[in-house]
Structures are given as structure tokens and as C-alpha cells.
Structure 1
Amino acid sequence: MKNQQEKYNLPQGWIWTTIDEIGIVVSGGTPSTKNKEFWGGNIAWITPADLSEHNGKYIIKGSRNITQIGLDYSSAKLIPKGSVLFSSRAPIGYVVVAQNDLSTSQGFKNLIPMTQVDSEYIYYYFLTLKSQAEKVASGTTFLELSAKSFSKLPFPLCSLKEQRLIVSQIDLLFSKLNEAENSLQKANKGLKIYKQALLNQAFSGKLTEKWRRENSIKVSAKQLIDDIEKERQLKYDLEILEWEKSLKKWKKDKEGQRPSKPSKPTVPEKPTDEQINRKWNLPKEWQWTQLGLISFVTKLAGFEYTEYVKYTEKGDLPVIKAENVGQDGFKKTTYSKVIAESVEHLKRSKLEGGELIIVFVGSVGNVATIPQNQSFFLGPNIALARPYNEINTKFLEYFYQSHKGKKLLLATAKAVAQPSLSMGNIRQTPVAITSKEEQFKIVQIIENQFTLTNNLEKTVDNVLNEITALRHSILKKAFEGRLVNYTSDESVENLLNNIQEERRLYIENQKVLNLSKPKQKKKMEEKKSILDILKESTSPISAQELWEKSTSEGDIERFYSEIKEIYHQIDELKSKTESLLTLKDENK
């Protein structure tokens, strides 16, 4: 059996048992969200989502409460203070102790421990159970740990006194690790703050204030911008001359397609009022301009991607995607590839190194510089900005990585479910420019300092990983009986018998209490078979909703067994986020 395979040798005075032998396993439930009477009461109701940002050992409440009537007319149950909550799906493995009476969703399997088993001992042991629990979980759409499988997970039992000694020692060691971890996390935050402070100094001109006094420049920022404008116009004039020659030849020979007239240099719209208000004062040697005036901005068109871009393992040209553009610049990944010859005609999407790339859908506003002397193909959801007249691309990258620069870039982002930037928005974005020499000096200083801070960040991250590993090691030793030196003359077998007797009495008492409760005046929402639910549904239904409405709710194994019996009658429609189920037409 899987559980037996997870067991290891325990010291004398310990015994293996199972979770259901040391307490009562209780599943959670969810009152109908359609009934307002069930919600907004004073009974705490916990979901796995409430634990995603929770760091404490104990929990008092979640984001929502239910009423007494919601508790009475649902499968939710009131769980007493000291119970240990273990999330059984989405994800499996969150653990917390109830600081007060509360209820949970069906996303938990909860243990009400008997008095001779310490709640915090259980809590710490449950922290080690994630991988074991996932191995015995089932499900295709999502993994779910059933109450039966949870109940039969192994549990190492020792005397109550030793349990408390172990908890005390873990608390002591973890508190020291927590102090070290907090200090390191503060150090990491400090390094990130320093990086932003450095960028702020760089693009206010203060970082190179002394350098400007001590060095002369050949071409001012204003002259640089003027030269770029002339360069763009000259390039266009040459393209027109070439086009006129080609047109004249075409008219004479009447062969091939008529040559297309080159477009005039794109002039971006003026910055928005918000962008103007976000600008800051610059040194007199600097100039404000716009990204679209100092670089060629473009993207891979949607039809080009659909018609010509075919990823293949035989490809010889790596494709740059949004995943390659992080908050701190370029990120190497396992690249998708295309055959270079198949996209040869998409010349503006060919990257040769040194271009600025900007994410315009998804992680909007992330920027990076393509590594020098490396060929790539521009993928979807990324714009490229190819600077004119040797404008330093890294200078532009660092400008838009600064808080102020990024806010200028995002000022025109469309505020929808998935924010995005158009090419016009990107061209429109203001950027502060100085001389080439000063650009180079600023990049040099930033990269020297960032190399130091990045090395420090890596060191801190390594130590934080070591702390995590040390916590795992402490817990491993604890539940192998190697963390504290304790010799007990108590019989752990007698302890288990006493626990089981207490458990028997608890169950009998609960039966008496349930009989003494007044009968419900309202019926709970009627649970139906999966087949009946699908027959009555007018549209495809998610597996999650089907599970909650069915008679199988609370028993994942029964749910999937029922699905399997009628699977030949079901169509599964897959969306980006979930699978939807509906009956095939002939079964409706």
C-alpha cells in the first residue's frame, strides 16, 4: 500500500497509527451562494484561498462568514477550537489550526483531535504531508484528496509529554529561523529599494552631475534629437528614390506586383496630460522626447503570426516571447523555434541583437534588451524599438525599468481585464535623453552597481532556500523521534487505546446531540445525480459546479466513479481555464 511505503522506523516508545485513529475527520461544505440568508453572519468560513497569503499557525476567520441558518442547511459543519485544517484541493497541503470555532468549505479535510493528542504536534506533522497526500489524491480536472484517503494517511504517535516537548523545540528553532528569514527579506527589500533609488538618481541627472562638470561632449542631446529627425527624413527620401526607380521599371516591364510607396516617418501623438504631469525636471543638458521619435517601433502582425509562424523542433531561429522579458530585463528560456527561411520575408520581425523589446499584452510594460550579436525572431505580444543614431538601448531599458519611467509607459495602457498597449501608445511615450557619452556613463555605473546588488540578492536567496531546507530537516528529525531526547515509561499502545475510547465516546455524544436538535423547517437544496444535473442544465457546466450540486459532493471517489459510468454520454468542452461538461445531443 502507498501509506505503508511512506513509513519509516520509529524509536522505542512510538507507534504508527492513522489520522482517523487520533481524532474525528470532518469535511467542509458550502452553503448555497444563491441564498442571501446563508451569508454574512458571525460564523467564520474558511476556504483554501484564505490561506494563500496566511503565515500564522492559527486562524480566526476568512474573507467570508456564514449564518447559523447557512450552517444548518448545508453540508458545512462547525469545527471546534483546536481542530487542524488541511486543504484537500486547490491546492493540497495548506495547514492551519482553528483558534476558535469555525467552519470550512469542502476544500478542506479537518481533524478534530482527541485531548491526548496535541493540536500543534498534529499541525507540524501535517506540514510534512503534502507529497504523501498528493500521491493518494485522485481526479483529472483537479486533484482532490478524499476523506477516506486522508483518514488512512500514517501518523507517528508518541506520548503527550513528548509531543509537547517536540512542539516546544520546533517553536524555538523555527523562531530563530523566522528572525533570520525576516532580516534577510528586509535586506532583499533594501537591495531592491537601492536599485530603484539608483535609477531615480540616474534619470534625474544627479548620478552623473559631477561627470558632466568634468567632461565635454561632442553632440548635445538637442543636436542628437535633431540629427535623428534628419536621419529619418533622409532614409525616407532614399526609399522614395528607390521606389520611383522600381515603379518606372515596373511600368516599362509590366512584370510582378506594383511596388508599394514607402510610408512617411511615423510621428507619434503628443504625450497625454497625465504623461506631461508625470515628467520631471531635467538638467539643462538633457531633453525630453518620445520613444517613437528616436526609434523604429513595430510588432509582429496578427495575420503574420497566424499564417507564417510555425513552431518546430527542427527550427533554427529562436523566438522571443513575453516570458523572455522580466521585471529585471532579459530572461533566457527554452525557446520555441521557427525555420528561418519560412519567415525570411518578415524582415522587420528579425532581431539581430541590441533592440529594445516591450511587452504590450500580459506583463505590460516589462522591457529588456536583446543580447548583442544573437539572432531571434520577434514573437507575439512584444513590441520592438530599434533606436536610431546609436542611442544606447540599455539606457532606454533602464529608463523604463525605473518607477517613474515605467509609469510614463503605462500611463496610456487600456484599463481592461487584460491591460494592453498599442504601438501608438508606445511611440507616444516620453523619454529623457542626454548625450551619447553620458548615456554610456550612466549605463556603465548602473551595470557595475547592479552586478554587486544582484550578487548580494543571489546570496540572500540562497540563504533563504537553506532556511526552507532547514525547516524541512527539523520537521523530518522531529517525526523520526530524533529532535528531542526523551525516554518515556508510558505505554504508547495504552495511549492509543485511551484515544480510541475517547473518540468512541465523542461520536456517541455527537449522535445524542444531533438527535436533540430541532428538526429543520427548511429543506436543503436538493442534491441530484450527475446525469439529472446535466439533463436540466441549459448550458455546459464546470466540473467544480457539477461536483457541488451532485449527490457525490464530499466524496471525490464516488463523484469520479459516477462520471466514469456516464462518460460515453458526455461531451467535454475545454476552455483556457477549465473543462466544461454537457450531455451529447442524443442524450438530452
Structure 2
Amino acid sequence: MAKQNLSVNQILVPEDEQPYNIPENWTWVRLGNFVEILSGFPFESDSFSPDPRMGIPLIRIRDVVRGFTETYTSQKCDDVYIINFGDILIGMDGDFNVATWKSEKAYLNQRVCKIKSANSALIDSYFLYYLPMPLLKIHSSTPSVTVKHLSTKTINSIPFPLPPLAEQQRIVERIETLFEKLDQAKELVQHALDSFEKRKAAILHKAFKGELTAKWREENDISIDNWSVHTLGEVCTINPPKSDVSKCVDDLDVSFIPMPAVSEISGKIETPQIKHLGDVKKGYTNFCEGDVIFAKITPCMENGKSAIVGPLVNNIGFGSTEFYVLRCSPKLNSRYLHYMVRNQKFRDEAQADMTGAVGQQRVPRSFLENYSLSLPDIFEQQEIVHILDGIFEKENHAFELYDIIEKIDLIKKSILAKAFRGKLGTNNPNDDRINY
């Protein structure tokens, strides 16, 4: 039954390498013996264009999850590299994403591969649901580098739980039925969340236009004409010099903030770490209490990873090099700045200015330095922050909505974990094991 002339021993996974127990009529096999992988063609980057009139659609790594492309190539290649609607793709760099192509036919660029069943014993939709789990495990165990890389050899060696064909079909049908109900619930929650985000954006727009403090200005006999235009670089220091820690011992405990420690939902540092100064004083970003840290790399920036630095262990803090540190001058309130950089409008403008290769695009420092803002005096900034705090304190239900979405995603993972252990209640022990 295997796609090559291999012995049974070459197809099967040795018992000591099997990840977990499966039903007796299932078999642990190597995925590469049941699938074919097509690696993309190395198109020349100077053939790329955003203009559809200039060529043929081209699938790049960032397009795998999106399901569509905004890149076109004038370069021609063999038709074998044409991908059609419904084909299964894997991004070989970055997060190792797996997705079904949802758009028109397109060419397959390098570092993206197409994977399909090459054996009548395997249903495409079955291994499509399974594949993200081992790839996530491979990603997490890959040594930390700027961009992680996946090889076809690694994919081929993945242990794969293979049930009888009838059971594969039952599993797929059960997963899709359960996922459909969860997706309907998630859609309702997301609609409510989107409504909140639109309202929040409208409120922030009014705040930064001075509309929320119109009455306050009237009561304090202050004119809107007192607002003045500045660049962000004029009212805060971007990446200030590191603190002098030369007199501190290397085993001194200090605060350390990795990127995952900052919540994109709350905009707070939720899981800080404690490390020895000697382990972090070189090669990491330094900040002080009251600084605003702002993620500069995709997708963290777009997701809203920024926070105001709170109390630090021994008043010393270090963190990810992917943070910009913004230290306010006396003209700028740090909470006012944090509301501004968390604002969707600011993030959209920052995203449009990003530079760098796909998967590691960053907001350039020049964007922050030159960002123009109309700024009231420090006292009106404090009043705006006070008003915004009061408004958004009453919007705690939004965080509950995020929590519900997270729980739905966890339920899906639980369903998949059960499915590929034969614990969804679909397995029929009378189904014959697949023979080789």
C-alpha cells in the first residue's frame, strides 16, 4: 500500500518512537510514505509586482494562512508549480503554518510547499487536521533563531496515526460537525468584540481630537488653540541609552520581559520573569519604570503588544530586542502615549511603513521619530487619560469576550487531540487494519 517499494519495517514507527497509544486497529506510520510534497519554484524577487496586470499570482509564505496573494510574477515556470483552490500548503519558514488554498490558481514560490495524499489509504482532509499538531511541536523544539526553517525531510519523518479508511472519514465528519458549531459561537462573540473595538476606536479618535475634553477646557478657560503639533521624536526619547549597571554584580536579580509576557489584549505586562543581570545585560533591550515598550516586529505590533513598564526588581529591567523603548519628556504623559500607540489607527499607519523580509518585517525607527501628533498641554493629557480610564474600566466584558474566543480555540485543540487518539467515539474495532 505504501507509495514506494519499502518494507513494512520502513513504513512503521518503532514502538519506542510512538508518541502515544492508539486503537489496536490503527497503525503508527511515517507520513512521508503516504504523501507527496512539492517544494516551490525559486522565483526571482525582481519579477514580483503588486500589479495584477504584470503577471501571474504568486503564493509566498505570508499568503498561506491568508489564503490569497497580492503578489504577481512575470517569470514563467513549469505548470507543475501551479496551485489550485483547495490544495494543502505548508509555510516552510516562520510559524510552519498549514492551510488550504482559498483563492484562484497561482504559482508556488520557494519555501512554500504543497502536500497531498499519494496513497489510497489516506484521506487528504484527515492528515490536514492532524498536521498542525506535530508541526507546532517541531517548531517549539527547533533552536531559537530569528526565523525557523522546516525541511521536507522533517515532514516526511513525522509519525502519523493511520486508522482504517472508514474511521478516517468518520473522524473528519465528527470534527467538521463540532467545529461548525464552535465557529458559529465564535462568530457571534467576534461580532460583539468587533463592535467594541469600533466603539473604542471612535472614542480614541475623539480623545486625540480634543472632543472629550471640550467641557473641561471651557471650565478651565483653555482654548483648543493651545494644542500644538509635534513629532513623537520631539516629545519622547526613542531607545534611550542603557542604564549604568557597571557597579552591579552579575548575580543581581532583575526584571526580564520577553515578548510573550506582554498581553495584546490588556496591554499590560502579565508574566514578567526574574533573571540574573549577567545573563541579560548584553544583547537585550534595557528600560526603566514608566517607559512605554512597543513591539516593532510583525505580527506582535499589529496585535497590539505594548505596555507601560511597572515596578522592576532592583529597579532594573531588560527585555526582548524587538521592543522599542519610548521614554516621555515632561511634555508627554506616558499613559496618554500608551493609549496612542495602542490605537488601531496608529498601528495601521505603523504597519504600512514596515520594512524587511516577509516574516520579520519591523516598524522603522524613523516612523516613530517622525510621527506627527497634535498635543495638548500635560494637564489636559492627564484629564484625557482620566476620562479614557473611566470609560474603558466599564468595558471589562470585552476581556471576557477575548477569553471566550481563547476557550473556543482550546476546545478545538482538545477535540483534535482526542480525534487522533481514537477517543471521539467514532472508532469501530471491527474495521480492518490497513495492510502493507
TM over 0.5: yes
Partner of 2:158: 153
| 1:517-558: CA deviation from partner (whole Å, max 9, x where unpaired) | xxxxxxxxxxxxxxxxxxxxxxxxxxxxxxxxxxxxxxxxxx
SS for the counterpart of 2:41 is coil
What CA deviation, in whole Å up to 9, does each residue of 1:74-104 have, x standing for no partner? xx66789876444454443524379998874
Larger RCO, structures 1/2 (Cα 8 Å, 6+ apart): 2
Query: Which residue matches 2:7?
Result: none
> Given residue 96 of structure 2, which amino acid in structure 1 is its aligned partner?
I
Deviation at residue 446 of structure 1 after TM alignment: 1.5
In structure 2, the partner of 1:120 is 125
Deviation digits for residues 459-497 of structure 1 (CA, Å, limit 9, x no counterpart): 22222221121111111222222224453754233xx45
Once structures 1 and 2 are overlaid, which stretch shifts more, 374-383 or 158-167? Answer: 374-383
Residue 288 (str. 1) matches residue 227 (str. 2): yes
Superposed, 1:132-143 pairs within 5 Å as 133=138, 142-143=148-149
Give a deviation string over 1:424-483, Cα, whole Å, max 9, x none: 968x8531349x4x6655433321222233x33332222222112111111122222222
* Equivalence for 2:359: none
- Counterpart in the other structure of 1:226: none
Cα shift readout 1:23-56 (whole Å, capped 9, x = no counterpart): 34234242563997xxx999876454321433xx
TM-score by length of 2: 0.63
Q: Secondary structure at the match of 1:387?
A: coil
Cα distance in 2 for residues equivalent to 1:208 and 1:146: 59
- Give the match for residue 447 of structure 1: 389
Q: Which residue of 2 aligns with 1:50?
A: 63
- Contact 1:85–1:110 (CA under 8 A) maintained in structure 2: yes
Counterpart of 1:492 in 2: which secondary structure?
coil
Rate the CA distance shift 1:466–1:6 in 2: closer, same or farther, 3 A.
Answer: farther
2:306/2:338 contact within 8 Å kept: yes
Are 1:48 and 1:108, in contact at CA under 8 Å, matched by a contact in 2? no
SS in 2 for 1:166: helix
Cα distance per residue 1:358-387 (max 9 Å; x no partner) = 979987999976659999689996454443
Q: Which residue of 2 aligns with 1:10?
A: 22
Q: Is the 8 A contact 1:89 1:145 kept in 2?
A: no
C-alpha distance in structure 2 between counterparts of 1:173 and 1:445, whole Å: 43
- State whether residues 10 and 480 of structure 1, in contact with CA within 8 Å, keep that contact through their aligned partners in structure 2: yes
Match of 2:205 among 200, 205, 209: 200
Within 2, Cα distance between the matches of 1:115 and 1:201? 61
- Look up the match of 1:476: 417
What corresponds to 2:402 in structure 1? 461
User: Does the CA contact (< 8 Å) of 1:360 and 1:422 recur in 2?
Assistant: no
Counterpart in 2 of 1:221?
A: 222
Larger radius of gyration: 1
CA distance in 1, matches of 2:316, 2:155: 50
Q: Is the 8 A contact 1:350 1:376 kept in 2?
A: no
The residue matched to 1:128 in structure 2 has which SS?
helix
Give the CA RMSD over aligned residues: 5.7
Matching residue of 1:71: 78
Distance 1:89 1:375 in 2: 39
Query: Residues 44 and 62 of structure 1 are in contact (CA less than 8 Å); yes or no, is this contact kept in structure 2?
Result: yes
C-alpha spacing 1:221/1:318, structure 2 compared with 1 (3 Å): farther
**Candidates 376, 382, 388, aligned match of 1:432:** 376
Matched, 1:177 2:182: yes
Equivalent residues in 2 for 1:25-36 (5 A)?
A: 25-31=36-42, 33=44
Q: Deviations over 1:101-132 (max 9, x none)?
A: 88744643623333453221221122333145
* Alignment check: 8 A CA contact 1:356 1:367 kept: no
**Superposition pairs of residues 324-339 of structure 1, within 5 angstroms:** 331=269, 333-334=272-273
Contact 2:21 2:421 in 1 (8 A): yes
CA distance in 2, matches of 1:18, 1:142: 23
Instruction: Report the CA distance between 1:399 and its aligned residue.
Output: 6.3
Give, in angstroms, the shift of residue 144 of structure 1. Answer: 3.1
CA distance in 2, matches of 1:474, 1:323: 26
2:50 alignment partner in structure 1: none
Correspondences of 1:31-110 after superposition (within 5 Å): 31=42, 33=44, 46-54=59-67, 63=71, 70-71=77-78, 84-96=88-100, 104=108, 105=110, 107-108=112-113, 110=115
Count of residues in correspondence between the two structures: 389
In structure 2, runs of 5+ residues without a counterpart are: 1-12, 48-52, 279-285, 357-362
Distance 2:317 2:423 in 1: 56
Q: Does 1:487 align with 2:431?
A: no
Q: Deviation of residue 17 (structure 1)?
A: 3.3
SS at 1:92 equivalent: coil
State how far apart, in whole Å, the 2-side matches of 1:317 and 1:368 are: 18
CA distance in 2, matches of 1:41, 1:82: 25
Matched, 1:188 2:193: yes
Distance 1:62 1:3 in 2: 46
Hey, what's the Cα distance between the residues in 1 that align with 2:31 and 2:100?
A: 16
Give 1:336 deviation, angstroms. 8.8
Q: How far apart, in 2, do the equivalents of 1:490 and 1:287 lie?
A: 79
